[in-house]
Structure 1
Amino acid sequence: MADYVMAATEVGGERLGERLLSTAPTLGEAAEFGDRHRTNYVSVRHGHDITLYGRDATGAWSVLVSDAPAAVVVELRRQHDALCRPEPASHGSSHVGFEYPSTPEDDYVLTAVDVDGEPIAERVSSTAPTLAEAAELGELHKANYVIAGRDGSDVVTLHARDAGGGWSVVAADVDVETAEEVCLWFDLTHHYQGRSSAGSAAGGPTGRHPLDHVTTPEGGQIAAAQAVSLVVERIRTRRLDYPTQGLAADRFEGGWSVYAPVDVDDSDPMAFLDMPVGRSVFLVSDIGRVKETSSAIPPRQAEEMFTAEEAYVRRRPAEERFMELLRDEVTRLDAAPEGPAGIASFTIDAPATEVTAARASALLGPIAQQLAQLGPPGWDRFTAVFSFTVSAEVARLRFGSGNQSTEVRVPEQMAVLVRRQRHLAALMPAGPWWRLLLTVSHSTGVNARITTEYDYGDRPFPDDHLLAPANYRDDLAAYPRAQTPAWLLEYIAAADGPTPATRTAPHTADATTRPGQVPVLGTKLGWTRLHADPHVITYGRRSITLDQVEWISYSATQTAQKRFLYPTTYDNTWDFQVGRYPYHGGPKVSVHFFRAGRRADQPEEWTFLVNLTHQYLAPRLLTELLTQVRRGETVTVGGSVKVTQSGISCAKPRLSLPWDSISGAQLHNGMIWIRQTGVEKPVLTVPLSHPNAVLIPELFTTLMR
C-alpha cells in the first residue's frame, strides 16, 4: 500500500487529481503536479499528517505547512488564497474540520470525507440528496462518511457506513462542529480497532487516528494504589465474585489495568490448562472511570480501545484545538532561521459561556436521534434518564405507544456519546450534570418535540437513579464544582464501607461548616487542589485516608526581618502534615501556607485542617497510644520523647523522668513545654511541628493520673 497520497485541490478542498506514492514528493514534483491540474494547491497526506504546497500570485510554489492536521491545512489554505488572490472566484466555509466547496446558491452539496473531515470528493445537486445517493458517493470513493448540506448553510446531515457496510443517517440537521463530533463517535464505535489497525477500516487512512492518543488530565495521572482502590470499590459496590486482595496494576497510556494475578507453575507444561479463561480485568482511567473487560480480549486491543474512548470524551473542541495548533505553528515559524513570524503575542481565550452551553446542547439532538432508532415500531414517545459519574453509570430508556410502554436497554456505544456530552457540559459554570432527562414525543406529520433537563441535585435522586456514595466522591474529584448539594455531601460522608481513592478535590464556597453538616473542604491553593473531609485528605497528587494516618503535626510561625533604614517586614507561615511512619520516607500529605504582614489573617483552610484532625484524628491516635503504653510498650511522640508506663525519656537532651516528678505539659508559643515538679523552667521543649507533639499534653495528663 502506498504511504503517501498527493492530491491537487482547489481552495475549498475539492480534489482535481490524485497520485499514490511510496516516498514523499519533492517541492518540484508537487509543483509540477499542481501546474498539470491548473490549481494553486497540492496536499500530501501521510497517515493523518498533511503537507500543503501553495502557489502565490507570482506563480512561485512553496511549502505552506508540514506535517499538520487537517484543521490547520484547511485554514491556512483559505488564508493563503485570500492573501494571494484577494478576489477569489469562490468563497469557502470558515468552519474548522469539515469544509465544502462553494456551489451555486441553493444547490445541495454531497461531500465524501474521511474521519478527520478532509474532503475526498464532492457532488452538486439541485435537489435534496437521498440516502442512496449519499451511499453511492461514499462507496465510489471508498469513504465511510458523506456530508450533505445547502451551499452557504451551516446545517448539514451526516451519513455513515457501519462495519457491516450498511448506510444510515447518523446526525440530521446539525451544525458542522456537531457533525464532526458524531462522525468521530461513530468511527470509534463502528470502525476503530486500536492503533495497530487504525488504517485497516474501509476508507480509513493509514497511520495515526485522531483517537490514538489521550492527553493527561489537568490533575495528572493517578497512582497505581488509587487505581486498585477504585477497582476494589467497584467490586464491593456491585458485589462481584472477584478478589479484593493482592490485585496488580499495570500502566498503559490511557490509565491502569488492574487484575488478580494467577500463579502458574512454570515447571509443569500442563499448568496452563488450569488458568481461568475470560477472567475479568478492570481498566481505570486517570479521571477515575472504571471499565470491566475480559482477559479473553487481547490486552493491547482492550487498552487501546479504552484509551480511544477516553481520548474522544476528553478531547478539546475543534476551534480550541485549531487555535492551539495555529499557536504552535506561529511559534515554530517565529523560531525558524528565516526570522520571526511578526506576531508579538498569541493568547487563547476561554470560550464564552454561551458558546460552551450551545456546544453541549448541540449533541442532545444526535443523542435523541440515536435513541429513537432503538424503539419498537409504532412508538410515539420515549423518556431517557442518564445518571452518570466517572466511575458508574445508570441509563433508563422507555418507549411508549398509546397505553403501552416498553423498556429498552441502552447500548454501551450510546453511553460513550452521552459521556462526551456530559464532559462538554462540565465546562459550564454549574459543572457536569448528575442526571440528564430527555423526553421525545412525535405524531404522524408533526416534527418530534425534544425536552431536556439537566439535574444538578437540587433534590435527592430517586432510588433507582442513585449511585453508590463512592461514585459521587470519585466524580467530585474528577470534576470539582462550585457547589455540591448538602444532602449529597451527607450521603457521601455517612456511607459505610471503604474510603474511595480521591485524587483531587470538590470545590465548595468556603472551609466552614454549619451545625449538623459533615465538614468538607474543597479549594485550590494556587494551581493545586486541596480536599479534606472525615475520610480523606488530598493535596495535589498526594492523598491519604484518615484511617491510615499514624501521626499529625501543625505549626504557625511569624518571622520579623529588621533591616537598617528600611521598615520591618513580617512573614507568616502555617504548616500542616499528616502521614504514616517512618516519618522520613513514609507516605504523607503536607500543606504549606504563607502570608506577609504583621497582622496577617490565619488561613481558613489551615484552621479547617487543624479542627478536622482534632475532631476525627486526635481521639483515635490518643487512644491507640494509651493502649500501647498500658500494654507495656514504649511509644515515641514529638519525634524523640519516649513514653512508657513508668515515665518519659529523651536522648537529646538526655533525661529520664518518672511520672511522679512531672508537673505537666502545656502549649507555649508554638512549643510543648514539659515541666518538672519544683523546677521553674521547662526541662524539655518540643516543637509543635514534630509528629504527634500536639498529643503530648493530653497523653501526659492521662498517664499521670
Structure 2
Amino acid sequence: MGELHEADYVVVSRDDAELVTLYGRGAGGSWSVAAADVDAGTAEEVCLWFELTQHYRGRSPSTAPAGRVGRPLDHAPPPDGGGMPAARATALVAEHVREHRLDHPDQGLAADRFEAGWSVYAPVDVDESDPMAFLDMPVGRSVFLVSDIGRVKETSSSIPPREAEELFAAEEAYVRRRPAEERFLAELEDEVVRREAESGDPPQISSFTVEPPSEEAVAARASGLLGPIAQQLALLGPAGWDRFTAAFSFTVSREVGQLRFWSGSRSTEVPVPEQIAVLVRRQRHLAARMPAGPWWRLLLDLGHEAGANARIATEFDYGDRPLPDCHLLAPEHYRNDLAAYPRAGTPAWLAEYVAGAGGPGTAARSVPQAAAASRPSSSGPPRGRTSPAAAPSRPVPFLDTAIGRKRLYADPQVITFGKRSIALDEVEWVGYSATHTATKRFLWPTTHESAHAFQVDKYPYYGGLGRDGVLVNFHAFGRRSEPPEEWLSLVNLSRQFLEPRLLAELVAAVRRGGTATVGAGVKVDRGGIGCARPRVSLPWREVAGTQLRGGMVCVYRTGRAAPVLTVPLGYPNAVLIPDLIAEFMP
C-alpha cells in the first residue's frame, strides 16, 4: 500500500478493533513496524516522531492563513516560565563542558538567540584586516544549542546553523506540543477571538473557557507511548535475545539511558540512540501533567519466548528513595528540572542533595548519609508533603535579581526584598496568588492584565503587609502573559523549605486537641472545619475534599456539587488547606 501510494506510512486496523498498527518507511527506504496495537492518538504521536527522526525536511517555507504553521513541528511552544536569559544558557554550556570533560573552553562563551533557545559557542578572533585570515579558522568547531527549559545539544559548525537550529526547534516542538484535542480547542478560541476583533462589532461571546483534560485522559496519553518505546528498543537487540532491561534517568538538562539484552545467561549492553531518547523525553513531558509530576527514572523489563506474547514490566521512580549512584545526576540538573517542572513537594533526600551543592559544577556526588538512611514513620511528616530539607550552612541562592530598583534575594534561610527581610524559620504564614483581569470598554479594545503576588509574614494578620513581612508583586500586560520566573522561583522555594514545616506545625496543633487557623478565618480541629464568614460547620464525615480552581481553594461537602467554602490562595497559609484537610479526612 505504501509503495502503491508513494506514502511513508501505512495504518492497518480491523473493522472490529479500536487498535491500529503503524508501519513506517525509514530514511533508507526499508519498511518496519513503528507501533503495533496502539490507539489512534498514540499512532499519531509515533507517526510524528517517525517523521521527525526519519524524514525531517526543515521548516515550512510559508505559513498558512491566520498565522498557523504549515507543519506540526514548525514552532516550539514557549515554556511556562518564559525564555531563558543568555547568561543562564552560557552557564549551562560551561557546566556541560566541565561535566563531560570536553576539549572546549568553558569561559568567554557567546550566545546568539534563535526561536527555540540559544546557540552558544566560543568566539574566534579573526584579523579583519587580513583577507586570508579566514583560512586559519578551525573547521568543525563545537556549537551548543540550549533550549529555554535547559536541554543542551552539541552540534558542529560544519552543519549549516539554520539547519541545526530548525531541527533542534522541531525536537523541542515535538516534546512540548499539546495533545491534538487541546490544540484544537486552543486554536478554536484564537479563531473566535480573531474573528470578533476583525468584525469591529461588540463581542458576542463574553468568555471562553477550555477545560483541561481529565486525569484519566492524561494518564492514557502518557502510558500509551510505553509500548512503542519498548518496541523500538527491542529492534536494537542482537539475534536470539529473550529479555532486555532499560533504565532512563532524565532531567531537562541531562539524560542517562542504559539498555541491556540477555540471551540465557549472557548479556550485552547496547547504547540508546538519540532518536529513542526523543520519544522517551516526550513520554516524560506528558507524564509531567499527572499529579505526581514527571518521573526521575523510568525502568522497563521485557521478556519473550517463542510462540508467546512479550511480557513488559514498567516502574516509574519518583525518588521515594535515593537513586543509585549509576543513575544519580549532578545536583544542578535536578535544580534545572525543578525549575522547568515545579512540583508540590520534593523528596527530603533530593531537596538536601540539591540545596547542599556548593554551586553549579562543584557539588559532591554522594547523597548525605542521614537522608539516605531516613525512612518515613507513623510519627513523621503529614501525608502529601515531604519533610523540609535542612538548609545548608552556606545556602545556595534560589534567586538574586532586581525588581524595579529593589534587590530580590532568596535562599533556603532568608528572603529579602528591598529593605525588608525575614528568615524562613521565623515565617508563620505564606500566601501566593496569580490573577488575570480582562477589562472590556465600549468602543475600545479589551485590555488584559496578569498579577502575581508572593508574601511571607508573621501573625497577627490584618489584611495587608505586616511589620515583619515581605511582599513581592509582579504585573504584566497581555492576554497570554506567562508567570514571572522570579515568582515561580519563590513559590518553588516555599514549597521545598517552608511549607512542609508550617504544615507539620498545624497538624501537630490539631492532634494535640487545639485549633489550626488558615486562610484568614478557616478553623480546623479534631471535629471538622468551621468558618464564621461565611458561616460553615462541617464534621469530617461530611467533608468531600478540596480543589484548586480560579486562584481559590474550594472546599466541598458530601452530596453537593458547589463548594461550601472558597478561600483565595493569597490568604495566610491557604495553600496548605488541601494537605491539612487531607490529613484528617476519614
Question: How far apart, CA to CA, are the structure 2 residues paired with 1:468 and 1:190?
Answer: 32
C-alpha contact (below 8 Å) 1:171/1:179 kept by paired residues: yes
Q: How does 1:554-703 map to 2 (within 5 A)?
A: 554-555=419-420, 593=455, 598=462
Question: How far apart, CA to CA, are the structure 2 residues paired with 1:437 and 1:497?
Answer: 30
C-alpha contact (below 8 Å) 1:155/1:174 kept by paired residues: yes
Partner of residue 363, structure 1: 225
C-alpha contact (below 8 Å) 2:352/2:389 kept by paired residues: no
C-alpha contact (below 8 Å) 2:401/2:409 kept by paired residues: no
Deviation of the 1:349 alpha carbon: 0.7
Which has the bigger relative contact order, CA under 8 A and spacing at least 6? Answer: 2
C-alpha contact (below 8 Å) 1:264/1:271 kept by paired residues: yes
Question: How far apart, CA to CA, are the structure 2 residues paired with 1:594 and 1:350?
Answer: 31
Amino acid at match of 1:554: K
Deviations 1:406-452 (A, max 9, x none): 10010000000000000000000111000000110110111001110
Deviation of the 1:322 alpha carbon: 1.2
Q: How does 1:314-333 map to 2 (within 5 A)?
A: 314-332=176-194
Question: How far apart, CA to CA, are the structure 2 residues paired with 1:152 and 1:605?
Answer: 63
Normalising by structure 2, report the TM-score: 0.64
Deviation of the 1:357 alpha carbon: 1.1
Deviation of the 1:474 alpha carbon: 0.6
Report whether the alignment pairs 1:429 with 2:279.
no
Partner of residue 278, structure 1: 140
C-alpha contact (below 8 Å) 2:356/2:395 kept by paired residues: no
User: What secondary structure does 1:140 align onto?
Assistant: coil
Deviation of the 1:230 alpha carbon: 1.0
2:55 corresponds, among 180, 184, 191, to: 191
Question: How far apart, CA to CA, are the structure 2 residues paired with 1:543 and 1:414?
Answer: 42
2:21 corresponds, among 151, 157, 163, to: 157
533-542 vs 223-232, which moves further: 533-542
- CA change 1:461–1:556 in 2 (3 A) is closer
Deviations 1:154-193 (A, max 9, x none): 2111111111111111001100000000000000001104
Partner of residue 390, structure 2: 517
Question: How far apart, CA to CA, are the structure 1 residues paired with 2:382 and 2:227?
Answer: 34
Question: How far apart, CA to CA, are the structure 2 residues paired with 1:538 and 1:391?
Answer: 22
Deviations 1:6-48 (A, max 9, x none): xxxxxxxxxxxxxxxxxxxxxxxxxxxxxxxxxxxxxxxxxxx
Deviation of the 1:278 alpha carbon: 1.4
Partner of residue 339, structure 2: 477
User: What secondary structure does 2:24 align onto?
Assistant: strand
User: What secondary structure does 1:284 align onto?
Assistant: strand
- CA change 1:162–1:222 in 2 (3 A) is same
Deviation of the 1:598 alpha carbon: 3.2
1:303 corresponds, among 165, 168, 180, to: 165
Question: How far apart, CA to CA, are the structure 2 residues paired with 1:540 and 1:323?
Answer: 38
User: What secondary structure does 1:329 align onto?
Assistant: helix
Deviations 1:377-418 (A, max 9, x none): 111110000000000000000001111111001000000000
Amino acid at match of 1:157: T
Partner of residue 351, structure 1: 213
Percent of counterpart pairs with the same letter? 63
Amino acid at match of 1:358: A
How many residue pairs align between the two structures?
Answer: 417
Question: How far apart, CA to CA, are the structure 1 residues paired with 2:342 and 2:166?
Answer: 28
Question: How far apart, CA to CA, are the structure 1 residues paired with 2:300 and 2:402?
Answer: 37
C-alpha contact (below 8 Å) 1:279/1:295 kept by paired residues: yes
C-alpha contact (below 8 Å) 2:243/2:262 kept by paired residues: yes
User: What secondary structure does 2:326 align onto?
Assistant: helix
- CA change 1:253–1:338 in 2 (3 A) is closer
- Structure 1 gap ranges (5+): 1-136, 200-206, 501-507, 521-531, 558-572, 575-589, 613-705
- CA change 1:180–1:305 in 2 (3 A) is same
Report whether the alignment pairs 1:466 with 2:346.
no
1:223 corresponds, among 65, 85, 94, to: 85
Question: How far apart, CA to CA, are the structure 2 residues paired with 1:149 and 1:300?
Answer: 40
240-249 vs 182-191, which moves further: 240-249
Deviations 1:613-667 (A, max 9, x none): xxxxxxxxxxxxxxxxxxxxxxxxxxxxxxxxxxxxxxxxxxxxxxxxxxxxxxx
Partner of residue 311, structure 2: 449
User: What secondary structure does 2:232 align onto?
Assistant: helix
C-alpha contact (below 8 Å) 1:160/1:168 kept by paired residues: yes
Partner of residue 40, structure 2: 176
Amino acid at match of 1:318: A
Partner of residue 58, structure 1: none
- CA change 1:178–1:599 in 2 (3 A) is closer
Report whether the alignment pairs 1:402 with 2:267.
no
1:382 corresponds, among 237, 244, 264, to: 244
C-alpha contact (below 8 Å) 2:218/2:286 kept by paired residues: yes
Deviation of the 1:295 alpha carbon: 1.1
User: What secondary structure does 1:316 align onto?
Assistant: coil
Partner of residue 12, structure 2: 148
Question: How far apart, CA to CA, are the structure 2 residues paired with 1:294 and 1:257?
Answer: 11
Question: How far apart, CA to CA, are the structure 2 residues paired with 1:303 and 1:533?
Answer: 37
- CA change 1:478–1:599 in 2 (3 A) is closer
Partner of residue 66, structure 2: none
Question: How far apart, CA to CA, are the structure 2 residues paired with 1:180 and 1:366?
Answer: 12
Normalising by structure 1, report the TM-score: 0.54
Q: How does 1:241-256 map to 2 (within 5 A)?
A: 241-256=103-118
Deviation of the 1:341 alpha carbon: 10
Deviations 1:124-163 (A, max 9, x none): xxxxxxxxxxxxx222222211111123532111111111
User: What secondary structure does 1:138 align onto?
Assistant: coil
Partner of residue 103, structure 1: none
Partner of residue 73, structure 1: none
- Asked which structure has the greater CA Rg, the reply is 1
Question: How far apart, CA to CA, are the structure 1 residues paired with 2:179 and 2:305?
Answer: 35
Deviations 1:70-112 (A, max 9, x none): xxxxxxxxxxxxxxxxxxxxxxxxxxxxxxxxxxxxxxxxxxx
Question: How far apart, CA to CA, are the structure 2 residues paired with 1:334 and 1:606?
Answer: 39
Report whether the alignment pairs 1:293 with 2:171.
no
- CA change 1:284–1:545 in 2 (3 A) is farther
Amino acid at match of 1:159: Y
Amino acid at match of 2:462: R
Deviation of the 1:593 alpha carbon: 4.1
User: What secondary structure does 1:263 align onto?
Assistant: coil
Amino acid at match of 2:47: C
Amino acid at match of 1:286: D
- Structure 2 gap ranges (5+): 64-68, 363-380, 423-429, 432-451, 473-488, 494-586
Deviation of the 1:256 alpha carbon: 0.3
- CA change 1:540–1:305 in 2 (3 A) is farther
User: What secondary structure does 2:89 align onto?
Assistant: helix
C-alpha contact (below 8 Å) 1:489/1:518 kept by paired residues: no
Deviation of the 1:552 alpha carbon: 7.2
Deviation of the 1:194 alpha carbon: 1.9
Report whether the alignment pairs 1:138 with 2:11.
no
User: What secondary structure does 1:451 align onto?
Assistant: strand
Deviation of the 1:272 alpha carbon: 1.9
Partner of residue 541, structure 2: none
284-293 vs 321-330, which moves further: 321-330
C-alpha contact (below 8 Å) 1:483/1:509 kept by paired residues: no
